[in-house]
């Protein structure tokens, strides 16, 4: 029996070698497709390996992502490690042949758990604002404690808990996605900053009140997000007003902080949508 098992194992190995050789010949000799290593780059504890593809008279590049030597995925479209933890990163993967699948989109990888979380099916979500050199200091997307990150894109406002992988899209929750409105957008959602104690985040939902040029006026609903529960709470509505005359800031309040919009003008209306009374 032992001899038989060894023979079966050896036979299987030979079959695999023959099949592999056949596939290689098919790609290189018949179809003319060649994959050639063309360099690598290390970012944090992640490595990006690039391969040059040649075939059918065309040349392209495919990037593959690795974490500490272990392959995460191919068709890499972007990578931004956490500035607080080199074992964590957001990355995007192209859809192979342009066909949507669970293998492509925007992902969060937690190296401590050796696990990827799919954050959004769209692989084209911009990650530029996540780089510290591009992010606005007052609206830094990575929370100071390294626990959360926000990804702001057209019709999207994603918030990710980097400890658990839990995530939500506030544009979807506040009904401000592209499929629900005409172009140009009339409702937009914006991240407005973390509270100093990182217990809340501020989110603004702005609606065009007067789109006629030369000045567009907006009405804005102010929300806060309780962390880490990702609980969304409405506070007040302001407007109409001009975007050039508003600022947002956190103010210390009894037992914590409160987000407040302030305006150059003193006559900008504020009211609660349910009671229609002025906000306190």
Global confidence as pTM: 0.78
Where helices occur in the chain by DSSP H, the ranges are 2-25, 170-173
pLDDT tens-digit series, residues 185-206: 578 899 999 999 999 999 999 9
pLDDT band (50, 70, 90) for residue 22:
very low
Average pLDDT for residues 259-264, to the nearest whole number?
Answer: 90
| In contact, 224 and 233? CB cutoff 8 Å | yes
Average pLDDT for residues 100-124, to the nearest whole number?
Answer: 93
pLDDT band (50, 70, 90) for residue 241:
confident
pLDDT band (50, 70, 90) for residue 88:
very high
Count H helices, E strands: the chain? 2, 18
Average pLDDT, the chain: 81
pLDDT band (50, 70, 90) for residue 233:
very high
Comparing C-alpha atoms, which of 260, 278, 263, 179 is closest to residue 223? Answer: 260
By the 10 Å C-beta count (0-12 exposed, 13-18 middle, 19+ buried), 6 is classed as: exposed
Distance CA 50, CA 40 (A): 6
Per-residue pLDDT at 201: 96
pLDDT tens-digit series, residues 132-189: 666 555 568 999 999 999 999 878 999 999 999 999 999 999 987 665 555 555 788 9
Q: What percent of the chain has pLDDT over 70?
A: 75
Domain range list for the chain: 35-125, 134-280
Per-residue pLDDT at 19: 45
Average pLDDT for residues 51-59, to the nearest whole number?
Answer: 59
9-13, 47-51, 109-113, 122-126: least confident range:
9-13
Per-residue pLDDT at 182: 54
DSSP string computed for 188-205: EEEEEEE-TTSSEEEEEE
Average pLDDT for residues 16-38, to the nearest whole number?
Answer: 43
Name the DSSP class of 33: -
By the 10 Å C-beta count (0-12 exposed, 13-18 middle, 19+ buried), 27 is classed as: middle
Per-residue pLDDT at 146: 93
| Comparison of pLDDT for 280 and 90, the residue scoring more | 90
Residue 13 has pLDDT above 70, yes or no: no
Per-residue pLDDT at 183: 59
Residue 131 has pLDDT above 60, yes or no: yes
Q: What percent of the chain has pLDDT over 90?
A: 45
């Amino acid at each position: 029996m032992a001899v038989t098992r060894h023979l079966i194992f050896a036979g299987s190995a030979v079959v695999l070698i023959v099949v592999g050789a056949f596939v290689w010949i098919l790609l290189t000799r018949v179809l003319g497709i060649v994959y050639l290593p063309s360099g690598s780059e290390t970012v944090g504890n992640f490595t990006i390996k690039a391969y040059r593809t040649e075939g059918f008279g065309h040349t392209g590049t495919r990037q593959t992502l690795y974490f500490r030597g272990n392959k995460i995925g191919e068709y890499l479209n972007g990578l931004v490690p956490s500035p607080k933890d080199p074992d964590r990163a957001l990355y995007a993967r192209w859809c192979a042949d342009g066909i949507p699948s669970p293998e492509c989109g925007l992902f969060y990888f937690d190296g401590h758990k050796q696990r990827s979380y799919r954050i959004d099916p769209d692989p084209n979500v911009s990650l530029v604002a996540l780089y510290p050199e591009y992010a606005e200091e007052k609206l830094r997307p990575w929370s100071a404690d390294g626990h959360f990150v926000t990804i702001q894109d057209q019709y999207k406002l994603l918030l990710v808990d980097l400890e658990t992988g839990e995530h939500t899209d506030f544009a979807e929750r506040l009904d401000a996605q592209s499929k629900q409105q005409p172009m140009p957008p009339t409702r937009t959602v914006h991240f407005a900053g973390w509270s100093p104690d990182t217990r809340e985040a501020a989110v603004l939902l702005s609606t065009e009140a007067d789109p006629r040029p030369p000045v567009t006026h907006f009405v804005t609903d102010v929300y806060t997000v309780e962390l880490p529960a990702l609980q969304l709470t409405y506070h007040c509505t302001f407007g109409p007003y001009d975007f050039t005359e508003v600022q947002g800031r956190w103010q210390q309040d009894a037992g914590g902080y409160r987000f407040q919009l302030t305006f150059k003008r003193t006559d900008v209306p504020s009211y609660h949508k349910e009671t229609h009374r002025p906000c306190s």
